Amino acid sequence: MAASLQTAYFTAHDGIKLAWHEIGDGIPLVLLHGLFSSASVNWIQPGHAAFLAQAGFRVIMPDLRGHGESGYSPSPSWPKAILTQDCHDLIDHLGLQNWILGGYSLGARISAHFCLGKNLPKKLILAGMGLTGLTDIGLNLALFKRALGQDRFPQGSSERFIQSFLRQTGCNKTAMLALLESQFPLSPDEISQIAVTTLVLSGEKDRFNGSPLNLKETLPDAMLAWVPGDHMSAVGQGALAVKIADFVKKP
């Protein structure tokens, strides 16, 4: 009998109501989605969640604040590391032990920050992320700010694509600007202190967040795996979930 998807809510430390979605039983696997996306867009709709549940995982997929079914503060200024703190709040709320953490793009950045704190996961998956995506927050910040702050861009431009994606997912522009401003970098030295066995997982044509190989080489205990596609298409590849399952099950 196929596992059924459940949605539940909890209250973060600052009173914001946040949603998470869950399917399957077994090893807890927490997956964080990317910017302007949601658990549904990145993990559920492509079939990753169902595949990983069938593979023996309890797949836990929060909607980051301001995304999907989660609330957000109307303040134009969010505290630094607020998204990392939300992840800590969820882990504490669920009382997880012997769990795995993974994320795509923004979710990978949150996951890396998380692994410099307490209650470390057993393994870590950084997908859609390269070294400069962690060390240089300005790498794509200006692009996103332009897309959020102006209305008209040429057909085929990156800004136009971002605006179209934002309309599809329904994220609030003010909230997303506050989120972008809350981001801060990690130094290469900090990244080298992430004491968790890590999978760096990337699309073969994805360099949006810098070099995945450089990220793998900066981490103390990491392997690198590839799936077809670029930054936007790789997350929808079935091979992504297969690589995650293989990595987590590997002794």
CATH of domain 6-249: 3.40.50.1820
In the predicted model, residues of the chain with pLDDT beneath 70 are 1-2
Q: How far apart are CA 157 and CA 104, in angstroms?
A: 23
Q: How far apart are CA 119 and CA 241, in angstroms?
A: 24
Give the residue among 91, 103, 49, 93 at the shortest CA–CA distance from 238: 49
Specify the pLDDT at position 149. Answer: 87
Starting at the edge strand found earlier in the chain, the sheet holding 27-32 runs 6-11, 17-23, 57-62, 27-32, 100-104, 123-127, 197-203, 222-227
Specify the pLDDT at position 148. Answer: 92
Specify the pLDDT at position 1. Answer: 41
Query: Where are the strands (E) in 204-245, listed by range?
Result: 222-227
Amino acid identity of residue 45, one-letter, is: Q
Q: Helices 173-181 & 138-149, crossing angle to 10 degrees?
A: 160
Q: How far apart are CA 70 and CA 81, in angstroms?
A: 17
Specify the pLDDT at position 139. Answer: 87
CB contact set of 168 (below 8 Å; sequence gap of 6+):
none
Specify the pLDDT at position 2. Answer: 58
Whole-structure pTM value: 0.96
3-state secondary structure of 223: strand
